[in-house]
């Protein structure tokens, strides 16, 4: 499977060799090591394998270090985690393993979007802004589709949250998805609001989490929330705020400044998922 580049879990290897889950892991555990103790235990490797198998796409978006963080591994370099997973189970974060997740029309759209965006913003400095503020929570009034309306977007986000940023002179570009509430059309109240207030913004590429830096920045807070019991909305909000506060500006900048490389990678592989 490894030599042919076929994505697989350890369970697939066990099944292929006709051994049980228990027998398979026993074989791995029985191998004796010499020298220094392993930095990553077999139990932690098993946990990362479980995360990849059970969480699927969400797990494959994680970097090696984020995957380790999810398995309670801290203070270990990404390459050490990658080597442990590759040597023991045969995992690799390769672009080819992810091509099956994108259909042809989506791939074409992603490639074209990447080409246009890269032409407009070809350098990391074109994306760089030292900007990070607190999380914002909002309520969606009852409606037929559960989506935020343009009226609510203005009253709950643009006016009370974004406008004070603009008034304070912050330099930023607002990243949005193409949800109808965000005003992606050519003529609507949200678009008018943005023009009146000179708001710099752009709509990210739909169905493309690897081309949206916010997805990378949101992973650590999500992992932080999962580590603690949270039985109600208030607990969840408090944990989300704590997790977000732990994200440094340099962490955010690194993800944002990687956009030119992400776009070029997407173009080079014909619009398929890049693995970022």
Q: What is the pLDDT of residues 71-127, one digit of tens each?
A: 888 888 877 887 787 755 555 443 333 333 466 787 899 999 999 999 999 999 999
Percent of the chain at pLDDT exceeding 70? 75
Q: What is the pLDDT of residue 98?
A: 38
Token digits of residue 96: 């080819």
184 Cβ partners below 8 Å, 6+ apart? 178, 203
Q: Which residues of 172-208 are buried (b: 16+ CB within 10 A; e: fewer)?
A: bebebeeeebbbeeeeeebbebbeeeebeeeebbeeb
pLDDT tens track for 23-69 = 666 666 554 445 556 788 888 888 887 777 666 556 656 777 888 88
pTM over 0.85: no
The DSSP secondary-structure symbol of 97 reads G
Beta bridge partners of 201: 174
When the pLDDT of each residue in the chain is averaged and rounded to a whole number, the result is 81
171 phi and psi angles, rounded to 5 deg: -100, 115
Q: What is the pLDDT of residue 115?
A: 97
Q: What is the pLDDT of residue 168?
A: 94
Cα dist from 237 to 72, 79, 227, 231, 244, whole Å? 22, 33, 14, 11, 10
């Amino acid at each position: 499977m490894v030599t042919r580049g076929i994505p697989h879990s350890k369970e697939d290897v066990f099944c292929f060799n006709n051994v049980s889950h228990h027998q398979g892991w026993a074989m791995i555990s029985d191998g004796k090591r010499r020298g220094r103790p392993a930095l990553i235990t077999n139990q932690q490797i098993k946990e990362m394998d479980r995360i990849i198998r059970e969480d699927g796409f969400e797990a494959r978006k994680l970097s090696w270090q984020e995957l380790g963080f999810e398995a309670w591994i801290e203070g270990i370099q990404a390459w050490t985690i990658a080597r442990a997973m590759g040597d023991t189970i045969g995992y690799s974060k390769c672009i080819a393993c992810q091509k099956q997740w994108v259909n042809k029309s989506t791939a074409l759209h992603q490639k074209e979007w990447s080409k246009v965006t890269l032409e407009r913003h070809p350098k990391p400095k074109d994306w760089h802004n030292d900007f990070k503020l607190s999380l914002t929570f909002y309520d969606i009034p009852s409606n037929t589709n559960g989506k935020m309306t343009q009226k609510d977007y203005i009253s709950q986000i643009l006016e009370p949250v974004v406008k004070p940023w603009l008034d304070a002179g912050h330099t930023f570009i607002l990243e949005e998805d193409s949800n109808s509430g965000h005003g992606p059309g050519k003529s609507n109240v949200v678009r008018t609001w943005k023009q009146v207030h000179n708001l710099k913004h752009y709509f990210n590429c739909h169905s493309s989490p690897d081309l949206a830096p916010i997805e990378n920045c949101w992973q650590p807070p999500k992992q932080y929330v999962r580590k603690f019991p949270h039985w109600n909305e208030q607990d969840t909000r408090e944990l989300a705020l704590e997790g977000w506060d732990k994200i440094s500006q340099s962490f955010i900048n690194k993800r944002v400044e990687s956009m030119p490389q992400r776009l070029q990678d997407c173009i080079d592989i014909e619009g398929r998922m890049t693995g970022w």
